[in-house]
Structure 1
């Protein structure tokens, strides 16, 4: 067993998944004309249907509305898509009414079925009121401020990442909820005394969250599941350093050159797979508080760029720089053993699906490549 701070459902409450704080994101806007004709649009629809089937949510597993905090982010948007596709009542909570990322994945009709609540995750009564007023039966807590924002304002970072998690746990406690999942981060692996990965305030906050969850189970019998996603990619991922391999797909779709600012090993997790894992975690009542890595597919930046070039032969996508400062070879066996099947997709199929979606979004004028440099 690795000496890293690993967690499984039966061992320590730590595990790796998202070591680098990859900020929540959405598909980085790229512009230019779409590459492909109607045949590509047809293929896009076929791949979208296949992807929806791969991460299908069973409505029978849920007994009421599911609250998704940070719903305007990348994983949050995919969670809304999977819930609405299944006909599960979804309640979104975010700081603003910005639905730009969900709009990339959901039809207007589907998005209209989502109850959208705005407010500060750091405000105790606001969070409690949403859970109470909306009759929430499960919570997927994704709201967070990522590494750059925590560096810029450590106090705000603590309020969102730590106090926000306490508020979610408190709301769950008073509502008697037994279905809570929250996003931790592989950033916690930089906090151990023997670790050689990057230490950050974000990682410290997330480690604190894991301890908070453990104590809520111990003192108040509030169960939860913590998940640390690896490098999430796909439509909706447009912020943070680790989003750059998704930007490369968008650049290829738009016919623009792009250089990913890092090379080497990466733990790739499709955004749909990450969302499906969080939803699977709240698909039944729990009685413990484990934390798991969600490593996804261990690969490299170079391998992903080769897949892109195979799909778009004239693509000009390269990489430069050092590897990301977190592990890329963690096992998903513990989380899959605990949760059961929540779907998966190969890196090749994930890139194909993302490319097809970007082409369709470019053709529809929903994204622009102007910001890609």
Structure 2
């Protein structure tokens, strides 16, 4: 089975960039379909290999352009990450629905109707389907703990249900992956970017305050990227939605691990903010149940890698050809 080319929607984002790195490391050609490129982030993470990324500017609802892109580049695998996040969905639910729901349906329809040799599909689901999102801050309504309290969470749950229908009626297999708090180099947006930014600040000798408290599960970004890529390359029969097992920790635990890598860094870091929900799935179905060989990077190791990314001077910091 050929594994030469994968289309990545949302490949300009944080997780998307690390997915590109994983694809390049496996010798594949990544094609990014997104509204704009992110040359700075790609340069930081991919180094000179950023030149190997094919970029196509497009909207998911431009279905003919999407089909032509897949046909032109002989795409065999789809990794769907493009989405509007919670604030944008709350401010404009219609725009959020078009991107998050209709855009996802466009990909399933591409597989169903375009006659393309698509062999696998992974897509980003979310822990937001279980209740409040981490970036939402504290929630007063206990009844919301088992239901999405945001448009974003509702849209993600809708796509999970739609994926099930495409398997049931058309035999289109898929894997929805639900990371928790993703951390690592180049995570720079959202409330839960705080620990990643704290690790960066420590590496640069700067001060930083993480703006929330509480216990959440942390997923190192390279683990998340490997999960999306493996699910797209080895998509099993069925419509699966799986949770990523991570490393439960408090924000204070995160700071202590940073200090273990850079002694004294804790004196420049602080934690101050609301208690955020942990969003533990009531009945988890872990990624390892589908792919037993997948492994979680321990928190200490992931933090060390994040710090090394910023403090080690390299001519080509992201080249996938480096050992």
**Equivalence for 2:120:** 179
Matched, 1:157 2:157: no
Choose the corresponding residue for 1:196, options 127, 145, 156: 145
**Equivalence for 1:68:** 8
How far apart, CA to CA, are the structure 1 residues paired with 2:172 and 2:225? 22
Alpha-carbon offset, residue 134 of structure 1: 1.4
Provide the aligned C-alpha RMSD in A: 2.4
Alpha-carbon offset, residue 215 of structure 1: 0.9
My pick for the range that moved more, 301-310 or 173-182, is 173-182
For residues 1-373 of structure 1, the aligned pairs below 5 Å read: 63-108=3-48, 110-173=49-112, 174=114, 175-190=116-131, 194-196=143-145, 199-315=149-265, 316-328=268-280, 334-360=286-312
What is the CA deviation profile of residues 136-179 of structure 1, one whole-angstrom value per residue up to 9, with x for unaligned ones? 10101001111111122222111111111011111122325240
How far apart, CA to CA, are the structure 1 residues paired with 2:251 and 2:278? 14
How far apart, CA to CA, are the structure 2 residues paired with 1:194 and 1:153? 24
How far apart, CA to CA, are the structure 1 residues paired with 2:107 and 2:181? 25
How far apart, CA to CA, are the structure 1 residues paired with 2:285 and 2:127? 16
Structure with more contact order per residue of length (Cα contacts < 8 Å, sep ≥ 6): 1
What is the CA deviation profile of residues 246-290 of structure 1, one whole-angstrom value per residue up to 9, with x for unaligned ones? 011111112221111111101100010001001111222432001
**Distance change (3 Å), C-alpha of 1:333 and 1:286:** closer
How far apart, CA to CA, are the structure 2 residues paired with 1:283 and 1:294? 17
How far apart, CA to CA, are the structure 2 residues paired with 1:138 and 1:96? 21
Q: Indicate if the aligned counterparts of 1:294 and 1:332 stay in contact, CA closer than 8 A.
A: no
Q: TM-score, normalised by structure 1?
A: 0.76
My pick for the range that moved more, 237-246 or 282-291, is 282-291
SS in 2 for 1:196: helix
How far apart, CA to CA, are the structure 1 residues paired with 2:191 and 2:223? 20
SS in 1 for 2:12: coil
**Distance change (3 Å), C-alpha of 1:85 and 1:142:** same
SS in 1 for 2:209: strand
My pick for the range that moved more, 321-330 or 269-278, is 321-330
Q: TM-score, normalised by structure 2?
A: 0.87
SS in 1 for 2:286: helix
Q: Indicate if the aligned counterparts of 1:80 and 1:90 stay in contact, CA closer than 8 A.
A: yes
Alpha-carbon offset, residue 82 of structure 1: 1.1
How far apart, CA to CA, are the structure 2 residues paired with 1:332 and 1:318? 32
Q: Indicate if the aligned counterparts of 1:162 and 1:209 stay in contact, CA closer than 8 A.
A: yes
How far apart, CA to CA, are the structure 1 residues paired with 2:235 and 2:196? 35
**Equivalence for 2:137:** none
**Distance change (3 Å), C-alpha of 1:242 and 1:139:** same
SS in 1 for 2:153: helix
Alpha-carbon offset, residue 326 of structure 1: 3.5
My pick for the range that moved more, 274-283 or 320-329, is 320-329
